[in-house]
Amino acid sequence: MHPSLAASARSAIPVHAILAKDAKAWLARQKRSGLVTASGFAGAAGALAALPDAKGGIAAWVLGLGESKDAFALAAAAEKLPPGTYRLGEVPEFCAGTHAALAWLMGGYGFHRYKKKNVRSTRLVTPPGVDGEEITRIAENLFLARDLVNTPANDMGPAELEAAVRALAKRHGAKVSVVMGAALTKNYPLVAAVGAGSPRNPRLIELNWAPAGKKTAPLVTLVGKGVCFDSGGLDLKPSAAMLTMKKDMGGAACVLAVAGMAMGAKLNLRLRVLIPAVENSVSGRAMRPGDVFTSRKGLTVEIGNTDAEGRLVLADALADADAQEPDLLIDVATLTGAARVATGMELPPFFTDDAKLADDLMRVGAAAQDPLWRLPLWRGYEDTLTSRVADLNNNPSYNFAGAITAALFLGRFVAKTKSWAHLDIPAWIDRAKPGRPIGGEANGARAIYALLRERYGR
């Protein structure tokens, strides 16, 4: 169990959480709350106050929630309280139980690889009915994904991403294989083309896992975009647009988080993870606008824009995944700015033709407070993918609906799999909230894991 969770409530100090509208009445019911009231505490979001005991010590702490019903608001208490052991007191239902425990762990996250920071030890007694091991599994894999995304590209290239996959596989007894060099050019030509401009060798990383004795369990395949840095290639991005491009491997980080959760829970499934890991750079070897490549599936693709590289590496990986006809196929990618324009940074869109899968993803995502929103795979835009010289162009001849046309491009490489979903995530938090500092995030990871647990739980 995570060290920030405690099993014993002995000497634990209660932490209460109240909405601003309830603060005055709540304080009036408490003993010795005069100092808190005099201090001006009124339940504002993130405000923290100590209720004294009869001896002048601290009887309890109270956290203000403001007017927002944020399920992870208690992370603010973990971030601000002095070292010690705490337990839940009076807490609204929307941020109690499992949400409270996960919020507490999220409040302890920090990325300290390059800048050391004092780490405070605050522990929360695991709330009644909450599985501390499950919460630990979710949090630790979420933090793995955040760390991978937050690591700058000089320390997180294709080789380092491969090392992260191998480390995760070793912990769970999974197998890893990697395709590089001439074999990559032959079998995953679009992946090789995107990575050709970088001195850091591109590769296709594959992880396979199955629980003991479950070799016939349903096959679930996860594909994650692993562009470790995206300069835009010869269609170079503006400098401002490159500042966060270390996050362009966020899809890979997300599926690794899901894989870690699923393997740790020993779900009844055979898991296959495919990560095309590349760096999209500028050099004399880089792919050019107008180049044409033959994909793994055999479809030819004209390069209309070298900055639309993510769909290229995913296309080869999806064609490979589709050939095995998995029970479920999900790809995750930081694919389009259009997705951010459509739904912002906090509500990633997804695409699928499977209505049941769509309903399930939205339902479990809402329950886990990891929301997703379905956008349409509108076939009316299929003709925007055409090319005069090839089967497809990676740069649609249409200035609108960019997230949809990108999803339609990927759909050309999924023909046999009956249940497929594509998530277009930001992999980034741009507005700090309790437990969610600005930086990398595995959007959708908890939702996907909840779906897998529901369908393939022991």
The pLDDT value given to residue 339:
98
CA–CA dist 24, 119 (Å, integer): 34
Model confidence pLDDT, tens digit, residues 276-291:
999 999 999 999 999 9
Please name the residues in contact with 131: beta carbons below 8 A apart, sequence gap of 6 or more. none
State the DSSP string of 243-273: TTGGGGGHHHHHHHHHHHHHHHTT-SSEEEE
- CA neighbor of 193 nearest in space, from 276, 75, 122: 276
Please name the residues in contact with 240: beta carbons below 8 A apart, sequence gap of 6 or more. none
Q: Would 5-130 and 135-456 be classified into the same CATH topology?
A: no
pTM above threshold 0.95: yes
The pLDDT value given to residue 118:
72
Residues 392, 411: contact at Cβ < 8 Å? no
The pLDDT value given to residue 8:
82
The pLDDT value given to residue 31:
87
The pLDDT value given to residue 155:
98
Q: Where are the domains of the chain?
A: 5-130, 135-456
The segments of the chain whose pLDDT lies below 50 read: none
Model confidence pLDDT, tens digit, residues 227-273:
999 999 999 999 999 999 999 999 999 999 999 999 999 999 999 99
Structural tokens at position 349: 């869109």
Looking at the annotation, which residues are catalytic? Answer: 237, 311
The pLDDT value given to residue 19:
97
The CATH number, out of the four listed (3.40.220.10, 1.20.1260.10, 2.40.128.90, 3.40.50.12280), of the domain defined by the range 5-130: 3.40.220.10
The pLDDT value given to residue 457:
93
The pLDDT value given to residue 116:
82
State the DSSP string of 59-114: EEEEEE-TT---TTTTHHHHHHSPSEEEEE-S--GGGSHHHHHHHHHHHT----SS
CATH superfamily of 135-456: Zn peptidases (3.40.630.10)
Beta bridge pairs of residue 50: 61
The pLDDT value given to residue 101:
98
- CA neighbor of 420 nearest in space, from 219, 211, 286, 239: 219
